Amino acid sequence: MGSIVLSAPPVDASSLVKVLVASLLGGAGLVAIFALGLAGVSAYVGNTEGGAAVAPGRKPAGLMVALTSFAVVIAGVAYGISVLLNSK
Amino acid sequence: MAANDIVLGAVVITALGFDFTNGFHDSANAMATSVATGALKPKAAVALAGVLNFVGAFLSLSVAATIAKGIVNTDLVTLNVVFAGLLGAIVWNLLTWYFGLPSSSSHALIGGVVGATLVAAGTSAVKGHAIVSKVLLPAVLAPVVAGLVAAIGTYLAYRLTARSADRVITKGFKLGQVGSASLVSLAHGTNDAQKTMGVITLALITNGTINKTATTPFWVIVSCALAISAGTYLGGWRVMRTLGKGLVEIHTPQGFAAEGSTSAVLLVSAHFGFPLSTTHVCTGSILGSGVGKRLATVRWSVAGRMAGAWLVTLPAAALVGGVAFKVADIIGGTLGVLVMAFLMAIFAAGLTSPPAGRRSTTTTSTPTGKSTDSRRR
């Protein structure tokens, strides 16, 4: 492909960095926040493996963490899709 | 003009057929884990995947613009070139499917169009630096980024829930996977339907039906959305067949993290107009989710096969696209195109109906006896 002219730098570095950062936030970040929410649910309902309560449950803070986390996950997904839609 | 319209019609029908098979092959896999864990009933999962692929097709047009205007010079490309490129992609897809080799329909499509363009109009018609920055570099980086994101996501998911109740975690991630798998379906619709839209748009531009600054017409968006979702819905019944074959052997938190990574990478890249291979992104994410949960479940052979397929797909599809153009050109005009279309139909029919019977038309059995996962996209 000898005669192809490479007039501009072939790498759009800023786009690639944006893709990396946004993927990390959207992919790993939201997954982690969802996991945090599950940890909250677990703290709220208690660890009842094998019938007996292993860890005390009913921690209201757990419920707060859970609700906040799930709200953040839903908002994050909604925000991501809205960005995509508005770029048309 | 009438002759051109016949070729244009052939391009549109072939492109939509390509879109349909894309849905048929790929999309059901997004829902396989949710069905396996019992989070969704098979019927509901298949219907959901179909609907979300349809909706996804309407989300963005950046990738379609890249394919239509970003890789070849629309002034130098003719309708016959687009058609030959499409044939190259389909023939390569069918061959890799038949022999159980991993491939990427996206790379096949781009390779086919570039190969036909090179033969028809020479190197000056190919936008070399755009191909490097919008196709090749993202193709190399996307699986790596997906793997990294999935590894971090998996690590954090296990770390944060390490002391939580198993019952809550299992059920929670199962439900989460319904969401993450839905996003993968949506992202698949966005990324892959747009590739077909891009090719049809390119054909319309080269035919002079629309001018080169025009965006993808609405009827193209709708028909591509319909084709990919119909393919997803009909192909989705294979989920039940593949389930018994040990397709997915990852745990729920890993699957959730892998799907989160896949959908994030695909959607973000679609926003920037990078036409990624969904196959490669999925594979990268699954490998990453293995790394995130210590190296135990990583299938490095998959990574090797993927790298090999990546190296081969673009040039191979380009070769077939180039040859298809040359042969059609020698025969000449519309007749040449129709002859090539006919040959491809015979070729496709020959590959998809082996003498053993009708059973092998699904990907669950392969002539080479390789595992199903080699063809997962």
pLDDT tens, residue by residue, B206-259:
988 888 888 899 999 999 999 999 988 887 766 555 544 444 467 888 889 999
pTM: 0.83
Taking residues B1-30, report their average pLDDT: 81
Kindly list the residues from chain A whose CB atom is less than 8 angstroms away from the CB atom of residue B262: 27
ipTM: 0.82
Does the beta-carbon distance from B183 to A2 stay under 8 Å? no
Please check whether residue A4 touches B, CB under 8 A: yes
CB B127 within 8 A of CB B71: yes
pLDDT for res B97: 72
CB B113 within 8 A of CB B82: yes
Band the pLDDT of B377: cuts 50, 70, 90.
very low
CB A38 within 8 A of CB B164: yes
**Rounded CA Rg of chain A:** 22
Who's near B360: CB < 8 A, 6+ residues apart?
Answer: B354, B366, B367
pLDDT for res B202: 93
Classify the C-alpha dihedral B284-B290-B294-B297 as positive or negative: negative
Kindly list the residues from chain A whose CB atom is less than 8 angstroms away from the CB atom of residue B269: 19
pLDDT for res B269: 93
Work out the angle at residue A81's Cα, subtended by the Cα atoms of residues B258 and A37, and round it to the nearest 5 degrees: 50
Percent of the residues in chain A that have a pLDDT greater than 70, as a whole number: 73
Closest CB to B160: pick one of A7, A39, A49.
A39
Taking residues A40-44, report their average pLDDT: 91
Q: Of A23-32, B306-315, B354-363, where does mean pLDDT reach its minimum?
A: B354-363
Please check whether residue A52 touches B, CB under 8 A: no
pLDDT for res B46: 87
Does the beta-carbon distance from B172 to A7 stay under 8 Å? no
Please check whether residue A42 touches B, CB under 8 A: yes
Cα–Cα dist B24/B228, whole Å? 8
Taking residues B182-205, report their average pLDDT: 92
CB A73 within 8 A of CB A81: no
Please check whether residue B33 touches A, CB under 8 A: no
Does the beta-carbon distance from A84 to B59 stay under 8 Å? yes
Q: What is the pLDDT of residues A45-62, one digit of tens each?
A: 876 554 445 555 677 888
Q: Of B17-26, B193-202, B230-239, where does mean pLDDT reach its minimum?
A: B230-239
CB B343 within 8 A of CB B110: no
Task: Among B145, B160, B174, B285, pick the best mutation site for testing chain A contact (most A Cβ within 10 A).
Answer: B160
Does the beta-carbon distance from B183 to A77 stay under 8 Å? yes
Closest CB to B59: pick one of A26, A42, A85.
A85
For residue B72, which phi and psi values (nearest 5 degrees)?
-130, 155
Taking residues B7-36, report their average pLDDT: 82
Please check whether residue B66 touches A, CB under 8 A: no
pLDDT for res B376: 38
Q: What is the pLDDT of residues B95-124, one digit of tens each?
A: 877 776 667 788 889 999 999 999 988 888
Alpha-carbon distances, residue B263 vs A23, B23, B329 (angstroms): 9, 16, 41
Residues in chain A: 88
Q: Position B38: which residue type? A: G
CB B13 within 8 A of CB B345: no
Cα–Cα dist B169/B371, whole Å? 31
Cα–Cα dist B108/B90, whole Å? 8
Please check whether residue B160 touches A, CB under 8 A: yes
Closest CB to A80: pick one of B150, B166, B267.
B267
Who's near B251: CB < 8 A, 6+ residues apart?
Answer: B293
Q: Closest by alpha carbon to A28, among B308, B153, B373, B358? A: B153
Q: Which two tokens stand for residue B79?
A: 């309708």
Alpha-carbon distances, residue B135 vs A11, A47, B153 (angstroms): 11, 49, 26
The answer for B156, left when phi > 0, alpha when psi is -120 to 50, beta otherwise, is: alpha
pLDDT for res B294: 67
Cα–Cα dist B331/B322, whole Å? 14
Does the beta-carbon distance from A28 to B263 stay under 8 Å? no
Q: Position B16: which residue type? A: L
Kindly list the residues from chain B whose CB atom is less than 8 angstroms away from the CB atom of residue A2: 123
pLDDT for res B328: 84
Taking residues B175-202, report their average pLDDT: 92
Does the beta-carbon distance from A31 to B256 stay under 8 Å? yes
Q: How far is A54 from chain B (nearest CA, A)?
A: 9
B44: which DSSP letter? H
Kindly list the residues from chain B whose CB atom is less than 8 angstroms away from the CB atom of residue A49: 165-167
B126, β-bridge pairs: B72
Q: How far is B223 from chain A (nearest CA, A)?
A: 19
Q: What is the pLDDT of residues B121-169, one digit of tens each?
A: 888 888 888 888 888 888 888 989 999 999 999 999 999 998 888 889 9
**How crowded is the C-beta side of A2, counted as CA atoms within 13 Å?**
0
B12, B107, B29, B349: CA torsion to nearest 10: 50
Beta-strand runs (E) in B169-320:
none
pLDDT for res B1: 52
Q: What is the pLDDT of residues B29-48, one digit of tens each?
A: 677 777 777 778 888 888 99
